[in-house]
């Protein structure tokens, strides 16, 4: 598929998880969850796929199913910092593009990985690209766990929030149980592509009040004037795994894929 831009994939995987300890190694349909993620990343056309971890148990499991592993510091405060260390260790060029694929997304469609990389390639002004999906129910619109994003006319992110943005003043004055008739609301899908030069700068970007208030790491980039381009996802991602319930749901889907 020569029309795709060349890009790399890094999969940060941590053993410690507050709700599901050892999450990346939990078994789903006979394989560790991380292996499902890795195999999906292999299907997206990336020139390199690397698992980044600070845990020897994850390193051993990943090497057992044939993955390349990059051992990173345990001191990183975010996945983005871990990604920057991977880029430095691997000697990736400043203009290279890398997609950060979460290690708890065993149902992530490979097409989305390719899409977010292609989106970054098309927008030279952006150091980062990500995805969104239209919100189709009022409950999601008012749910603080569903992160909303607002874009400008060219698709660059204006703001990400747990709050309901944009706030349709007139529609919500009348009714908050239905989606407003005007415009569309979008939820953020947390799949990112970065240019390596942005990752190199990231360590020097101090945290900001917006990021701390919303607990959304991507606001640090906007605060410091970095541009994030947002594309509407070509397909919806499958559910990720945060809880034991999520794990059982995904196990059922992968055990019985019909």
CATH of the domain at 102: 3.90.550.10
Instruction: Please enumerate, as own/partner, the contacts of 138-143 that have beta carbons within 8 Å and a separation of 24 or more.
Output: 138/176, 138/177, 138/178, 138/179, 140/187, 141/179, 141/185, 142/176
DSSP, collapsed to helix, strand or coil, labels residue 66 as coil
Is residue 29 domain-resident?
Answer: yes
Is residue 77 domain-resident?
Answer: yes
Average pLDDT on 237-257 reads 86
Is residue 110 domain-resident?
Answer: yes
Is residue 217 domain-resident?
Answer: yes
Is residue 3 domain-resident?
Answer: no
Give the least confident one: 1-15, 51-65, 86-100, 180-194: 1-15
Q: How far is CA 21 from the centre of its chain?
A: 20
Nearest to 36 by CA among 102, 112, 116, 100: 102
- CB burial class (10 A; 0-12, 13-18, 19+) of residue 59? middle
Instruction: For residue 90, count other CB atoms closer than 10 A to its CB.
Output: 17
pLDDT score at 168: 92
When divided into structural domains, the chain yields a total of 1
pLDDT at residue 3 tops 80: no
pLDDT single digits (tens) 55-87: 999 999 999 999 999 999 988 888 888 999 999
Is residue 2 domain-resident?
Answer: no
Is residue 238 domain-resident?
Answer: yes
pLDDT single digits (tens) 116-175: 999 999 999 999 999 999 999 999 999 999 999 999 999 999 999 999 999 999 989 888
Task: Give the separation between CA 214 and CA 73, rounded to whole angstroms.
Answer: 26
Domain range enclosing 244: 8-255
């Amino acid at each position: 598929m020569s029309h795709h831009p060349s890009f790399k994939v890094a999969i940060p995987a941590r053993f410690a998880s507050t709700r599901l300890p050892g999450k990346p190694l939990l078994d789903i349909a006979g394989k560790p969850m991380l292996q499902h993620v890795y195999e999906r990343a292999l299907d997206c056309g990336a020139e390199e796929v690397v698992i980044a971890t600070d845990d020897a148990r994850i390193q051993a499991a990943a090497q057992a199913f044939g993955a390349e592993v990059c051992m990173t510091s345990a001191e990183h405060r975010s996945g983005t910092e871990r990604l920057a260390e991977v880029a430095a260790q691997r000697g990736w060029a400043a203009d290279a593009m890398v997609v950060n694929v979460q290690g708890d997304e065993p149902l992530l469609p490979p097409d989305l990985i390719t899409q977010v990389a292609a989106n970054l390639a098309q927008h030279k002004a952006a150091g980062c690209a990500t995805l969104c999906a239209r919100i189709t129910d009022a409950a999601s619109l008012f749910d603080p766990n569903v992160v909303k994003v607002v874009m400008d006319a060219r698709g660059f992110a204006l703001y990400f929030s747990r709050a309901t943005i944009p706030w349709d003043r007139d529609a919500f004055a009348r009714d908050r149980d239905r989606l407003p008739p005007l415009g569309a609301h979008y939820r953020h899908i947390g799949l990112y592509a970065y240019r390596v030069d942005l990752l190199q700068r990231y360590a020097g970007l101090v945290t900001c009040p917006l990021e701390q208030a919303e607990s959304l790491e991507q606001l640090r980039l906007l605060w410091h004037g970095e541009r994030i381009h947002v594309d509407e996802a070509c397909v919806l991602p499958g559910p990720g795994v945060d809880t034991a319930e999520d794990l059982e749901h995904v196990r059922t889907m992968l055990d019985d894929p019909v």
